[in-house]
Structures are given as structure tokens and as C-alpha cells.
A and B are shown apart, each in its own frame.
Chain A
Amino acid sequence: MDQLNISEKVTDRGAILVVEGPVNSYTFTEFQTKVYAWSKKADLVIDMAAVTSLSSAGLGVLMAAIDDANDAGRKLWILKPSEIVRMAIESTGFADSFAVIGALREAF
């Protein structure tokens, strides 16, 4: 899968972004725009089960969004990260900063 697809769902408890495909230097601008927009205005779940790659640029977006959410009194969860996402997060040494969940009910 070469293309990045991001679908948005809004519930009464928060927003859900379902991300599919690669988050790399070629695609991360769209990822950044949507994650930053939602992390400041709602509790946010990012479903990353179908993410096929995650570059340092994409990881940086997640880390900055977590800080933004905290500053705004919001929460941000990573739902069902794929193996490559989990590996990328753990490789940075910042895994404790990420709230990883296995089911949506753990967030909302």
C-alpha cells in the first residue's frame, strides 16, 4: 500500500483517526495536519493497526501532539499499533510517553 488514508470519526466522547498505509516523509504532512488539528480540540484515538511504516517525522508528530493534548487538558491514545509502529515507538526510548491501547473501550 503506497497511499496514506486517514478517515475521521467523531463521537460524543472524542475523535477517532483511522490511519492506513505508510507514514513517511512523502505522506506525513497529511498525517501531521489531521493529528495536530484534532489533538488540540478533542480527546483523540489514533488507530494505527494498518500503518505499514512510521518515519521519525511521523513519530515526531505523535510526540508533539501528545504534548499539545496534555497542554490542552486532552488525552491521546494509540490504538492497536502495528508491529512496525510498535517497533518505531520502542526504538526511540520514549515508549512510556505513548498511551497504547488494545481496544477502543479502554479510551472512551
Chain B
Amino acid sequence: MRGQSGGARNPRGSRARFRGSRAECPSFERFIDGLECGDGSARARLRLVGGELFDNLATHAAPLRGGMSVRFGRNSAGRMTLAFTFRSARYRAWLKAPGPSLPSWSPVEKRWRGLGLIMVRNLSSRVEHRAGPSGDRIVVTF
């Protein structure tokens, strides 16, 4: 991970770059732990939601050309935002594929599916997926 504080240009935000592999989970968590985000509850939300999205991208979007950029900030209303920027055709295809709308047990895979999606939905106020020729972007507002 290469981390970078926003410094004078963006005193309320910070960003980091990752290759986009699951082995970077500890680095991503250290990035979240280093953010100036307020109380422990806010950090817990960032860890849970950010961790789910990071894992989804590492699992369903890799290999990421140019890696993944993660940026923390606050919007004009003062709400925390977490933005993931990357480039992945595989992710765009995965996004269009039908997935479970509710958590359910998969007897074939012997695991619960859809839990991460509902965690992200319930621990954030808005999740936007934007895909375009200039790249892909997920922005979470808390």
C-alpha cells in the first residue's frame, strides 16, 4: 500500500493505493485505522463496509489494471465517504449478473451468500456504482 494524507489540499481526507489482492486486507485495515474519522462507531462502520467492498473487488474484479485507489473524505453535508476507483471489465460483468437479493445458505458452496451485501446496505446510507470508459468507481456515503 502506498498511503498519502490529503495534506493542505484536502485536510479532511486521505487516500491510499493497493494492488487489489486479498493479501492486502491487513494493509487496508491499517489504512482505515489511521483515518481521522471520529468515534469508534464510525471507524467500525468504515472497517466493516470498506472491508467487504475491498474483499469483493479483490475477489470479483481482479486482476485490476493499475490497482485500486481508496479515498476517504467528507461530503458537503459532513458525511463520511469512502471511494474505490479502479478499472475492471470483470467487475462490470459481475455487477450485471444477478445475485442473491437476500442472504441465503448455499448447500452447494456450503456457505452463506449475500451477507456482505446486506451488511454494506445496512451500515451505509448510500452506495453508488459508476462504470465508464475512464474507469470504475464505487462511492459509499455513511
* A contact residues vs B (CB 8 Å cutoff): 2, 22, 24-27, 52-57, 59-60, 63-64, 67, 83-84, 87-88, 91-94
Contacts and interface: CB of A to CB of B under 8 A. Distances in A.
A91 B118 CA distance: 7
Given A2-B30, A26-B25, A53 B41 contact: no
B3 interface: no
A69 to B, nearest CB: 15
A84 B115 CA distance: 15
Interface in B19-72: 22-23, 25-26, 29-30, 40-41, 44-45, 47-48, 51-52, 55, 58-59
Given A24-B29, A25-B22, A55 B52 contact: yes
A87 B26 contact: no
A76 to B, nearest CB: 15
Contact of B119 (A22, A83, A88): A88
Interface of B: 22-23, 25-26, 29-30, 40-41, 44-45, 47-48, 51-52, 55, 58-59, 103, 105, 110-112, 115-116, 118-119, 122-123
A52 B112 CA distance: 21
B122 A26 contact: no
A53 B51 CA distance: 9
B29 A2 contact: yes
Given A91-B119, A91-B123, A92-B115, A26 B23 contact: yes
A-B pairs, 10 with minimum CB distance = A56-B116, A60-B112, A56-B115, A26-B25, A2-B26, A84-B44, A91-B122, A25-B55, A91-B119, A24-B25
